[in-house]
Structure 1
């Protein structure tokens, strides 16, 4: 499942994921599943055709990522691998940051982060000319709705409806939109 929120030059995308990493971190050798949220830059082009034509919209480079993941060997709903990536280098995320508050109460932590998008963008190293004040106010205002979508997806993962495991065992897998 994929959900998207678009503002002026920024957008939020949210999706469920199942992930098998062939080069896991120490202590994280089992597959993980959960919900990923990314703050991304948006490109909006002119309509291609008449005034009635669709407008090309692209959610481009991610600038911040939150992975609300749990090991597949943990009880469903356990987010023992919850972390975030405060910065990206191009398309590649920086290292995982494990924050006790994120693991203890992920939805409250996420709501707090989304309530102050300017701080998130500053930590991500995004220049002020890459986004607008409307992005900041729109994202902060939409934070409760964004968190509600994340909660619904986490509930779907916990209940086994989202982020399914591959049908056959695999050495590496990444399912989901993000």
Structure 2
């Protein structure tokens, strides 16, 4: 399942996730599942056709990511591997940053973080020039709706409906990242 919240220049995408790390950290060898949220650049294309034509919109590179993940074999609502990536180099995330509140009260942490974009920018490598003031306001306003979407996706992951492993048993399945786009 993929949700997108688009603003003028940036947006947020939220999806369920099943992840098998080919190079796991010690103690994290089992698959992970949960919800991924990314702050991304959104790009508007030129109209092609009449004034009634749909405008192309591209969801481009990530600026920041939070992964509300847990051991796929753990009980629901464990979130023992929840972390965020405050830095990206192009499309690649920096190291995982574990914050206690991401496991203990992830929705409160997420709502607070999305509601205070200025603090988020200070923690990341995002230049304030990349996010227009109107987007900062829109993101703050949308934070409760985005957080509610994450809550609903987590419930669907924990019920077993979403974040399912890919089919197959070959090497490609062992290193898979599966995001459901329905």
TM-score (norm 2): 0.94
- In the alignment, the residues of structure 1 paired with residue 57 and residue 121 of structure 2 have an alpha-carbon distance, to the nearest angstrom, of 21
- Aligned with 2:174 (options 151, 165, 171): 171
Counterpart in 2 of 1:51? 51
Indicate yes or no: 2:77 matched with 1:77: yes
Worse overlay, 40-49 or 160-169 = 160-169
Indicate the residue corresponding to 1:161 in structure 2.
161
> Corresponding residue for 1:66?
66
Gaps of at least 5 residues in structure 2 are none
- Residue 57 to residue 38, structure 1, CA distance change in 2 (3 Å): same
> How far off its partner does 1:53 sit?
0.6
SS at the partner of 1:111? helix
Consecutive unaligned residues of structure 1, counting only runs of 5 or more, are none
State the superposition RMSD in angstroms. 1.3
**Contact preservation (8 Å) 1:156, 1:162:** yes
Q: Partners in 2 of 1:145 and 1:65 — Cα distance?
A: 18
Corresponding residue SS for 1:37: strand
Alignment-derived partner of residue 38 in structure 2: 38
Structure 1 range deviating more: 116-125 or 157-166: 116-125
For 1:35 and 1:95, locate their aligned partners in 2 and report how far apart those are by CA, in whole Å.
18
Q: Which residue of 2 aligns with 1:8?
A: 8
Q: Distance in 2 between matches of 1:126 and 1:116?
A: 14
After the TM superposition, which parts of structure 1 deviate over 4 Å for at least 4 consecutive aligned residues?
none
> 1: CA distance between counterparts of 2:122 and 2:56?
28
3-state SS of the aligned residue for 2:174? coil
Contact 2:78 2:103 in 1 (8 A): no
Cα pair 2:162 2:180 within 8 Å, conserved = no
Q: Is contact 2:87–2:94 with CA below 8 Å preserved after alignment?
A: yes
Deviation, 1:177, is: 5.3
CA distance in 2, matches of 1:38, 1:79: 18
Deviation at 1:59, TM superposition (A): 1.2
Do the aligned partners of 1:39 and 1:63 also contact (CA within 8 Å) in 2?
Answer: yes
